[in-house]
Amino acid sequence: QLQLQESGPGLVKPSETLSLTCTVSGGSISSSRYYWGWIRQPPGKGLEWIGSIYYSGSTYYNPSLKSRVTISIDTSKNQFSLKLSSVTAADTAVYYCARQGIAVAVFYFDYWGQGTLVTVSS
Amino acid sequence: EIVLTQSPATLSLSPGERATLSCRASQSVSGYLAWYQQKPGQAPRLLIYDASNRATGIPARFSGSGSGTDFTLTISSLEPEDFAVYYCQQRSNWPPITFGQGTRLEIK
């Protein structure tokens, strides 16, 4: 059974960089059949797609966040990561990592991590 | 960016009733629309993709329809576990991928 698990600091200071890692188990992140994405959800609000990465390293970012976002992949560790720079209180959210298929349910998110709350505060 | 508008914001129904949730796109997304269910403290779960295809393990009481700009999620007979928040998501010509603001389905 595929599992995704987010990890990283739960508290980040304003203007600093938020860094999260998603560890994938029960499947290979190197598969050509999937993209891997980050989605966030501010407390009590809706979902916002941040960006996605392919095993080759190709990335797609939300234009609204593109100037501050970097997503990378480490196939040797079966992990992919998110960096969001210059954070403000508006970046406080639960951050989810998720899988996107390219063969079935193409580009929809079919497996999700449990999510991790990141609070931006001094 | 394609904006998805969901209605109603809140739907109050009783178990056994039929639920109809709507998602309207600001421009055509063809059939590239999904529905997710989210319960408190949990990640979203994919229910329907490409407007009308049930994801693996999703009960037959969930069905989706629509194309272009207007889409519907129908739950034929509500079970107690169906009361949750539902989101639509489009992936037409991404990036960006966008989500609707959600419909809260609550027990009447």
- pLDDT at residue B81 greater than cutoff 90: yes
Give the nearest chain A residue to B92 (CA atoms). Answer: A107
pLDDT in tens, A8-59: 999 999 999 999 999 999 999 999 999 999 999 999 999 999 999 999 999 9
3-state secondary structure at position A67:
coil
Distance from the Cα of A13 to chain B's closest Cα (Å) equals 25
Question: Across residues B81-93, what is the average pLDDT?
Answer: 96
- CA gap A46, A44 in Å, rounded: 7
Give the nearest chain A residue to B35 (CA atoms). Answer: A108
Nearest to A95 by CA among A104, A83, A110: A83
Chain B residue numbers touching A47 (CB-CB < 8 A):
36, 44, 87, 89, 99, 102
Tell me the sheet residues that pair with B98.
B90
Question: Across residues B12-34, what is the average pLDDT?
Answer: 98
Name the residue facing B43 among A105, A106, A112 (closest C-beta): A112
Greatest Cα pair distance in chain A: 44
Distance from the Cα of B23 to chain A's closest Cα (Å) equals 14
Q: Residue A32: its pLDDT value, please?
A: 93
Beta carbons within 8 Å of A36's beta carbon, 6+ residues apart: A22, A24, A29, A52, A53, A54, A73, A80, A97, A98, A99, A100
- pLDDT at residue A104 greater than cutoff 90: no
- CB-based contact A112:A96 (threshold 8 Å): yes
pLDDT category at B94 given cuts 50, 70, 90 is confident
- Give me the helices (H) in A30-87, please: none
pLDDT in tens, A45-67: 999 999 999 999 999 999 999 99
Nearest to A47 by CA among A100, A105, A93, A113: A93
Question: Across residues A90-119, what is the average pLDDT?
Answer: 95
pLDDT category at B90 given cuts 50, 70, 90 is very high
- CA gap B9, B25 in Å, rounded: 16
Q: Identify residues of A whose CB sits under 8 angstroms from chain B CBs.
A: 37, 46-49, 51-52, 60-64, 96, 98, 105-110, 112-115
B89 and A64 within 8 Å at the Cβ level: the answer is no
- pLDDT at residue B87 greater than cutoff 90: yes
Distance from the Cα of B101 to chain A's closest Cα (Å) equals 5
Q: Residue A63: its pLDDT value, please?
A: 96
Question: Across residues B9-15, what is the average pLDDT?
Answer: 98
pLDDT category at B93 given cuts 50, 70, 90 is confident
Burial level of B94, CB count in 10 A (0-12/13-18/19+)? middle
Give, in order, the Cα–Cα distances in Å from B77 to each of A23, A85, B18, B46. 38, 46, 5, 19
Chain A residue numbers touching B102 (CB-CB < 8 A):
46-47
Q: Residue A103: its pLDDT value, please?
A: 86
pLDDT in tens, B38-79: 999 999 999 999 999 999 999 999 999 999 999 999 999 999
Q: Residue A53: its pLDDT value, please?
A: 97
- pLDDT at residue A2 greater than cutoff 90: yes
pLDDT category at B1 given cuts 50, 70, 90 is very high
* A47, A48, A95, A110, best to mutate vs chain B, most B CBs in 10 Å: A47
